[in-house]
Amino acid sequence: MNASNSEETVFGAALRLAPAERANYLDQACGGDAALRQRVEGLLNAYQQAENFLETPAAPTLPLARTAWVPLAEKAGDKIGRYKLLQQIGEGGCGVVYMAEQEEPVRRRVALKVIKLGMDTKQVIARFEAERQALAMMDHPNIAKVFDAGATETGRPYFVMELVRGVKITDYCDEKKLPIRQRLDLFIQVCQAIQHAHQKGVIHRDIKPSNILVTVNDGVPVPKVIDFGIAKATGGQRLTDKTVFTAFEQFIGTPAYMSPEQAVITSLDIDTRSDIYALGVLLYELLTGQTPFDSKQLLAVGLDEMRRTIREQEPERPSTRLSTLADDKLSTTAQRRGLDSPKFISELRGDLDCVVMKALEKDRARRYETANGLAMDIQHHLNNEPVVARPPSNLYRFQKLVRRNKLAFAAATAVAAALLIGFGVSTWMFFRERAARREQVRLREFAEANEKKARLEATRSRRLTGLLKDTLRDFMRHEGFYFASTEEALVAASDHIETELQAPEMAGEFENDLKADFEINLGALSLRRRLEGLMEVHNYAEVDKVLQDVSVQESASQARNAPVLQVRATFQARRGRFREAARDISKLIEIDRKDFTYYYVLAPLSAANGDLPGYRQLCKEMLARFGGTKDPSVAERAAKACSIVPPLESDLNRIAQLAELAVTGKEVGDNNLPWWQFAEGLVEYRRKHYESAAGWMQKALIPIPFRYSVDNYRFCPAYMVLAMTNYRLGQVDSARAAFAKGVELSERTLPDFGSEDLGVHWYDVLIAHTLMLEAKGLLEEKTAAQTETLLQHALMLEAKGLLQGKAEKTAETK
Amino acid sequence: MSDVARILNDIGRGDARAADELLPLVYEELRHLAAAKMALETPGQTLQPTALVHEAWLRLTGDENRRWNDRTHFFAAAAEAMRRILVDNARRKRAQRHGGRLVRVELDNANLATPSDDQVLAVNEALEKFAARNKQTAELVKLRYFVGLTLEEAAEVQGISATTAKRRWAYARAWLFQEIRAQRS
């Protein structure tokens, strides 16, 4: 913005002068900045020629023809992007759905949903892009995949999804006259789908019957949840008179599915438990044929009253609700479930009443903590076991009950944990791989231990005890985020031991340890959720206030501070306070010198802080500790982290070996290969192997399918290295071209360096900018003309005190 | 309090999300107002965007004496809505011209002084680029070009001085002219 401001100021001043005086003025005003001068002259020239350009408004008067006021609409036969519309298959308050055909890269039929006019397309797409990673990771038979999003030619956002040919779950159940048990079976599958999404960090936000379609495969009904990510991208539904009332005719049911926290006007923190509420409403409707609050009645009482009802009024229990129905309505509803009226009511009374009401609790802390919890409780009911929802319960009985249920919790995948921590794109991949690797190692070690000794003996061995503890810690650290109460987490953890290691007698021993760990994690999680919510609405003042108030108890065991420190470091970095972030990460290293992640995350922070001695010391330590790694993903990260600024000559060989290991350890066709190739290329550049570096960078510049938005975080730094490489090879023109490309891409797609929020990929942004400054310096040795925008970046860095030493230098040259 | 008034208050309190809500409401209101007028007036007549937006303002806020920055937000949304309506309209007409669909053309009795559809689309495209570097000035262009406010009116709505508005307008015109010319060459 400043760039165009100075341009505007100089232009404005020049315009007021007589043409003859302008040259003199421009000499003075632009100083040595030839580019600025050229631009202003161009503008003055254009101004002369523009004459009356734009002076007549586009529509001094508007035609009164009706068509002029009807927004352009798509129709069958039209092409949107690479999709050809075949036929309209649905229409709702929020948009129109078409069946469409995709031709490339694969030929397939998809569902394409065009959102109605009146939304800010760019923001919708930006919000979708922000969640794309998470959406892409969802892989579940009961979830319709979301493939793509974009803007139509008429400027409306659209989403492309897996085509599901099915009917609304409520319609399907009624048409088939499904009995209660089969309805519950379908519902459990829906819960499992939602649980999967929650584990990948995706909240649906708009669960309702029309978003759950049932298809029949080989005679087996399969529910599919559609529209993931769309409610969030389109801003969710906020209740206003207008939006509710205008949308309502097409949208019956939505207010009925709105959770109390969604009904609060300024509600920021929608979380997984809002989905649990909507699942409760769905269950209510599947069982009774009614929603807890009648949509028409909700609407009739007006908006404020509607909000109040959703927030405060307790709905009737399902069985009570049925007994108040008119006789004929009750018997029709019962018949649709293959029952007579009295049997129908008695089936719901008791367990199912309690389960539904627990999911519909106004206070979300009292709802089921996870979708799995809800599904499990229904399973209990089906197995004739007592349900959790039914008071009174105590921890012991609760545990016994849950343990009887062999619900397998997948081993700690840690994918989700990386999302939670948000250290950047490459970190995210790192976590995933490391988790997979650790899992293998652990299982192998366990198998070995098992072979040697009898199982009982083995559980006593210290090694296995340590292993168990680690396993559990890992589990709690990663999976623990998904449990909202200590009890549930403990039960899950105990199950985890039983199923994974067949050592039930070990479970109790660690409960106290785990309890403490878990509470710390929970605190960190809620802190993170709060900060993320505030960032999302750009309330940076509050973010800073929260960060300032974070208290880290020095007296407590240091390890306990880690989760909170991680969160604080992440958000300090996103806010551009690298010094503070670096301080927290240094503390984390003190706490756990064995965790490679911390070293690797600290590197670009130190570089950005201009703390070269600190950076080099860090690299030394990183190489000493992890230089001998056999793990290609650690090797790649270490090599890259140590090459952000030119490394010490003495470290180069070690770094090169790491980079080598990283690339050769990768299979061809691995989706992440270009990231690895970038690291190798960067290291080759540091070793002055310019030809080879250029080759690697060309490879790093190949897009990764379905990761396009993240590609830019690799492309920008890759162009910078390519620019420097070409420059060293004497190809100055291609060097400049690569540089310009990188700058343009960075300005267009990466968060601005001076912006309030560097985004979740701040790590990669830092590397990109550090390399950009280096490239700029190198290229400018010969080219006096400064690119103004770059100067801006440098100035911003200086303003932030990041380049202390260089600030004076620049001042002198001015 | 009306929805729009509440949203304007929310914006005033710094609720960024509220701004997202404003546009659809204003957009719909403009279309409804226009439709209502069409029902009353004889075909072939025209209405002034400026008058339309002013009327929407009065109807939606129900108060002429709101703070100027309320007006800024409202008019920004209205200008954006008008931009979409006009650009949509221009695209539609172009599609028809290029042998698109055969529908009854009851569009305009186009006033020859009105800029051509191609110009509207070209300006729109260039303006999107311009907005990325200078949002406020782009808003000024929208108010002037798509709503038809005079420069003084636009300055008042934006809460800037007439001199500033004049400088920005000159800069934007030169910039957009240059951009469009570059695109065409």
In a domain, A140, yes or no: no
Do A729 and A809 lie in one domain? The reply is: yes
Most B-contacting residue of A6, A62, A154 (CB-CB within 10 A), to test interface:
A62
Do A449 and A354 lie in one domain? The reply is: no
Cα gap A203→A784, rounded to integer Å: 52
Q: By mean pLDDT, which of A603-607, A651-655, A748-752, A780-784 is the weakest?
A: A780-784
Taking each continuous run of H as one helix and of E as one strand, the counts in chain A are 38, 10
* Contact state of A117 with B84 under an 8 Å Cβ cutoff: yes
Residue A704 is part of a domain; what is its CATH number? 1.25.40
| Max mean pLDDT range (A339-353, A706-720, A731-745) | A731-745
Do A488 and A627 lie in one domain? The reply is: no
pLDDT of residue A202: 83
Cα gap A456→A449, rounded to integer Å: 11
Do A759 and A615 lie in one domain? The reply is: yes
- Answer whether residue A247 shows pLDDT above 80: no
Cα angle for residues A559, A560, A561 (degrees, 5° grid): 90
Of A451 and A201, the structure prediction assigns the larger pLDDT to A201
In a domain, A615, yes or no: yes
Rg of the Cα atoms in chain B: 17
Determine the longest span between alpha carbons in chain B, in angstroms: 52
In a domain, A779, yes or no: yes
Rounded mean pLDDT, A498-503: 49
Distance from CA of B108 to the nearest CA of A (A): 5
SS3 A801: coil
Quote the pTM value. Answer: 0.45
pLDDT of residue A671: 64
* Contact state of B46 with A118 under an 8 Å Cβ cutoff: no
- Answer whether residue A222 shows pLDDT above 70: yes
Whether chain B has a CB inside 8 Å of the CB on A8: the answer is yes
Residue from the list A56, A60, A123 with its beta carbon closest to the beta carbon of B20: A123
* Contact state of A66 with B86 under an 8 Å Cβ cutoff: no
Do A472 and A610 lie in one domain? The reply is: no
Enumerate the residues of chain A whose CB falls inside 8 A of the CB of residue B3.
240-242
SS3 A579: helix
pLDDT of residue A30: 84
Per-residue pLDDT 10s for chain B (185 aa) are 567 777 777 776 666 566 667 777 787 778 777 777 666 655 555 667 777 777 777 777 765 555 556 777 888 888 888 888 788 777 777 766 554 433 333 333 333 345 677 788 888 889 988 988 888 899 999 999 888 888 888 888 888 888 889 999 999 999 999 998 887 76
pLDDT of residue B98: 52
State pLDDT tens for residues A610-628.
888 899 999 999 999 998 8
Phi, psi angle pair for A190, to nearest 5°: -65, -45
Q: By mean pLDDT, which of A211-220, A249-258, A522-531, B43-52 is the weakest?
A: A249-258
Upstream peptide bond of B24 is cis (omega within 30 degrees of 0): no
Phi, psi angle pair for A110, to nearest 5°: -135, 165
DSSP state of A634: H
Of A453 and B179, the structure prediction assigns the larger pLDDT to B179
In a domain, A552, yes or no: no
Rounded mean pLDDT, A317-331: 87
In a domain, A587, yes or no: no
Enumerate the residues of chain B whose CB falls inside 8 A of the CB of residue A120.
20, 23
* Contact state of A46 with B147 under an 8 Å Cβ cutoff: no
* Contact state of B3 with A242 under an 8 Å Cβ cutoff: yes
In a domain, A658, yes or no: yes
Do A497 and A646 lie in one domain? The reply is: no
Residue from the list B88, B148, B178 with its beta carbon closest to the beta carbon of A46: B178
* Contact state of B47 with A62 under an 8 Å Cβ cutoff: yes
Distance from CA of A537 to the nearest CA of B (A): 6
pLDDT of residue A564: 82
SS3 A371: helix
Enumerate the residues of chain A whose CB falls inside 8 A of the CB of residue B134.
1, 4-5, 8
Q: How does A158-186 read in b/e, with b if 16+ C-beta sit within 10 Å?
A: bbbbebbebbbbbebbbebebebeebbbb
Identify whether the C-beta of residue A79 lies closer than 8 Å to the C-beta of residue A98.
no
SS3 A213: strand
Most A-contacting residue of B83, B92, B105, B119 (CB-CB within 10 A), to test interface:
B92
- Answer whether residue A638 shows pLDDT above 90: yes
| Max mean pLDDT range (A8-12, A452-456, A527-531) | A8-12
How many C-beta atoms lie closer than 10 Å to residue A64's C-beta?
22
pLDDT of residue A249: 32
A253: left (phi over 0), alpha (psi -120 to 50) or beta: left
Do A388 and A425 lie in one domain? The reply is: no
The closest alpha carbon to A161, from A177, A171, A149, A173, belongs to: A149
Distance from CA of A727 to the nearest CA of B (A): 30
- Answer whether residue A374 shows pLDDT above 80: yes
Residue A383 is part of a domain; what is its CATH number? 1.10.510.10
CA atoms within 13 A on the CB side of B97: 10
Rounded mean pLDDT, A510-520: 53
Rg of the Cα atoms in chain A: 30
Identify whether the C-beta of residue B115 lies closer than 8 Å to the C-beta of residue A56.
yes
| Max mean pLDDT range (A68-82, A462-476, A583-597) | A583-597
Give the nearest chain A residue to B168 (CA atoms).
Answer: A8
Do A398 and A483 lie in one domain? The reply is: no
In a domain, A199, yes or no: no
How many C-beta atoms lie closer than 10 Å to residue A42's C-beta?
15
Rounded mean pLDDT, A629-649: 89
Whether chain B has a CB inside 8 Å of the CB on A745: the answer is no
* Contact state of B134 with A1 under an 8 Å Cβ cutoff: yes
Alpha helices in A17-139 (DSSP H): 19-30, 34-50, 121-137
Q: How many residues does chain A have?
A: 814
Cα gap A8→A381, rounded to integer Å: 71
Residue from the list B52, B107, B137 with its beta carbon closest to the beta carbon of A63: B107
Domain chopping of chain B, boundaries? 3-184
Confidence of residue A7 (pLDDT cuts 50, 70, 90): confident
**Residue after which a domain boundary falls, among A404, A423, A450:** A404
Catalytic one of A33, A148, A174, A206: A206
Q: First CA to last CA across chain A, in angstroms?
A: 21
Count of domains in chain A? 4
Do A727 and A601 lie in one domain? The reply is: yes
Do A651 and A609 lie in one domain? The reply is: yes
Taking each continuous run of H as one helix and of E as one strand, the counts in chain B are 8, 1
Upstream peptide bond of A386 is cis (omega within 30 degrees of 0): no
What angle in degrees, to the nearest 10, is found between the helix axes of B68-97 and B16-40? Answer: 60
pLDDT of residue A73: 67
State pLDDT tens for residues A406-417.
222 222 222 223
Q: By mean pLDDT, which of A41-45, A600-604, B34-38 is the weakest?
A: B34-38
**Residue after which a domain boundary falls, among A404, A425, A458:** A404
Scanning A257-316 for CB atoms below 8 A from B yields 266
State pLDDT tens for residues A786-806.
444 444 444 445 444 444 444
pLDDT of residue A467: 47
Structural domain span for residue A385: 237-404
pLDDT of residue A768: 92
- Answer whether residue A502 shows pLDDT above 50: no
Whether chain B has a CB inside 8 Å of the CB on A2: the answer is no
Enumerate the residues of chain B whose CB falls inside 8 A of the CB of residue A22.
none
Mind giving me the DSSP string for A127-150? Answer: HHHHHHHHHHH---TTB--EEEEE
Encoded amino acid at A381, one letter: H
Cα gap A541→A560, rounded to integer Å: 28
Name the token pair of A163. 């085509």
State pLDDT tens for residues A347-371.
888 789 889 999 998 888 888 888 9
pLDDT of residue A624: 93
Name the token pair of A244. 């509710």
On the 0-12 / 13-18 / 19+ scale of CB atoms within 10 A, A492 is: buried
Residue from the list B46, B91, B120 with its beta carbon closest to the beta carbon of A61: B46
Do A450 and A492 lie in one domain? The reply is: yes
Cα gap A563→A417, rounded to integer Å: 11
SS3 A393: coil
* Contact state of A240 with B134 under an 8 Å Cβ cutoff: no
pLDDT of residue B153: 83
- CA dihedral (A166, A169, A170, A172) in degrees, to 10, reads 50
Give the nearest chain B residue to A68 (CA atoms).
Answer: B89
Rounded mean pLDDT, A532-548: 85
Cα gap B166→A792, rounded to integer Å: 26
pLDDT of residue A238: 42
pLDDT of residue A787: 42
The closest alpha carbon to B109, from A63, A59, A58, belongs to: A63
Active site residue A139: no
pLDDT of residue A294: 81
Give the nearest chain A residue to B110 (CA atoms).
Answer: A63
pLDDT of residue A254: 57
Instruction: Mention every residue, 6+ apart, whose C-beta is less than 8 A from residue B27.
Output: A117, A118, B77, B81, B84, B85
Enumerate the residues of chain B whose CB falls inside 8 A of the CB of residue A47.
170, 173-174, 177
Do A618 and A715 lie in one domain? The reply is: yes
pLDDT of residue A481: 44
In a domain, A113, yes or no: no
* Contact state of A58 with B120 under an 8 Å Cβ cutoff: yes
Name the token pair of B53. 């937006």
pLDDT of residue A158: 86
Residue keyed to tokens 């009750």: A330
Confidence of residue A807 (pLDDT cuts 50, 70, 90): very low
